[in-house]
Amino acid sequence: MDVTEGIVMSFITAMVVGVPLFGLTLRFCLKPLVEAFIRLKEVPQGGGVDVQLLRERVAYLERVMEAHGLIEDRVPLALRTGSPERLPAVSAVKDRERV
């Protein structure tokens, strides 16, 4: 066997075995990304019905908690003055019975 025949045989073997394996690897790597991209394109922009329903449910729960006196002010922590990373040193503690 000549040196060039050995090189040609190794290239042919690499192409016969390597190209399909490389193709399968790419397919399994890219499939989740392509499916996620397709799902992203299918979702309507601006929030769907599910997001609107969740917002309504959270608003209802906030109203119920406020009616029971569990929420004093509805201003989010990030919008309060001071550092948003720290909680206030003194906070009002309410002693309520759990239902």
Whole-prediction pTM: 0.37
Give the per-residue pLDDT at 49: 73
Q: Would you give per-residue pLDDT tens digits along the chain (99 residues)?
A: 789 999 999 999 999 999 999 999 999 999 999 999 998 888 766 666 778 889 999 999 999 998 888 877 655 555 555 555 555 555 555 556 555
- Rounded to whole angstroms, the Cα distance separating 97 from 99 reads 6
Structure tokens at 12: 């042919």
pLDDT value, residue 42: 83
What is the 3-state secondary structure of the chain?
CCHHHHHHHHHHHHHHHHHHHHHHHHHHHHHHHHHHHHHHHHCCCCCCHHHHHHHHHHHHHHHHHHHCCCCCCCCCHHHCCCCCCCCCCCCCCCCCCCC
Q: Where are the domains of the chain?
A: 1-42, 46-78
| Residue with token string 């290239």 | 11
